[in-house]
Chains A and B, each alone.
Chain A
């Protein structure tokens, strides 16, 4: 399994201090978790960055395992393309512990990537990024006519929809008839 490391800026161990014990508590080293997408490439992400994802945050909040244990058990997101997961991880790292700006201009402009990103972000429950992505989707059709929107987003016409529905029903009917015939044959 190949591995890339993201957000590896783990805090250095706290220096011994001569200050009295009542002073500020020593810094706790940041913990890291590991995720991989469809391409099995593992990304190392800090717990702070992962806080953006309500799904992952909910999963890890009560685990409390060591870094070695986390490394041995990367979260598998087989339904997310590797490059899309990389974008999500990058975004989480960039916005770790920071207030999110009102606009994000670094999102992909290509339709396929953007829709994949929307779905991944929705699945991972990253609310702020979902808001940006949805804005970007809305921008894709700004000033466009119904025909242009239908073309850009590949929306079938009602007639096409009805034809596809009829075809699906026909196919389902044929399959059911086939199954009945096969069952009758088996019975004989």
Chain B
């Protein structure tokens, strides 16, 4: 039982010294404002950002998550961006004007979004060469989980990949009908983001040396089980080149698959070919780091799903 003296406990200091509250946004602490800003959609953040300097710096210090961000600069005189929030709300921005002014204006906007945005999915389609120099000068990071680079030329692709955050989970490049003739596999493989990404693919790649070079990089880096690389090409020779370069490591081979050992006894690398029975279709390949104890009966015999991922044109219907 408590004594009488214990009955008179002291009021903690925090209770007695605080001021009487006021009721105005400007009287809120930065911490509370940030909490409220965190609940706002992008459009409202932009509006609040325009009210005063103090609000602007607060907004700019806060990251915002987007489910998806799409950026297109497909011609000299037009730029489009669409941002989808986690709640499914859509924010669109379309800019037009003279080539030089437009590129400056558009890239200022892009830089801002990349600075504050954290993307689940990010698609960049920059056709116009004027953005290349701007990308090279951009020193910030692009924070995204799944990145899709479409119709960007070789230097732009490399430039963007180098700016991705380290924990990017997939990098997908689709240069369109023109392909990516200028990038050698070594240029890709020298980029740390490519070395560490769990999934990446190159659509319409004209080099036939990518498979064995990726396999060698994985062997050198002792890459994780599950690491996957996909490529499709209209040129012959990729499968043969892989066989020749990896002949000393072959565990098993067939028309469809080659399995090789790595320096780590726990890990093998499996190369699979996907066949599409349509005239003029390219050759599809998937390369994966697998567990060395994986049985052949566990192989995935349905190549449609993984082909669809790199080339939705086929098997999408």
Contact = CB atoms under 8 A, between A and B. Distances in A.
A153 B24 contact: yes
A72 B7 contact: yes
Interface stretch (A8-16, A114-122, A176-184): A114-122
How big is chain A's contact interface, by range?
A: 35 or more
Contacts, number: 116
B47 A149 contact: yes
A149 B40 CA distance: 13
Nearest to A59: B12
B127 to A, nearest CB: 33
A138 B8 contact: no
Nearest to B11: A76
B263 to A, nearest CB: 50
Interface in A132-146: 134-135, 137-138, 141-146
A78 B21 CA distance: 10
Interface in A94-146: 111-113, 115-116, 118-120, 122-123, 130-131, 134-135, 137-138, 141-146
Interface residues of B, number: 42
B54 A142 contact: no
Nearest to B9: A73
18 contacts: A73-B9, A75-B15, A76-B11, A113-B23, A115-B23, A119-B28, A130-B35, A137-B39, A138-B39, A143-B44, A144-B47, A149-B51, A153-B26, A155-B26, A155-B52, A156-B52, A157-B52, A158-B53
Interface of B: 1-2, 6-9, 11-12, 14-16, 18-21, 23-29, 31-32, 35-41, 43-44, 47-55
Given A69-B9, A73-B8, A78-B16, 11 more contacts: A65-B7, A76-B15, A81-B21, A116-B23, A134-B32, A141-B40, A146-B47, A146-B51, A153-B51, A154-B26, A155-B25
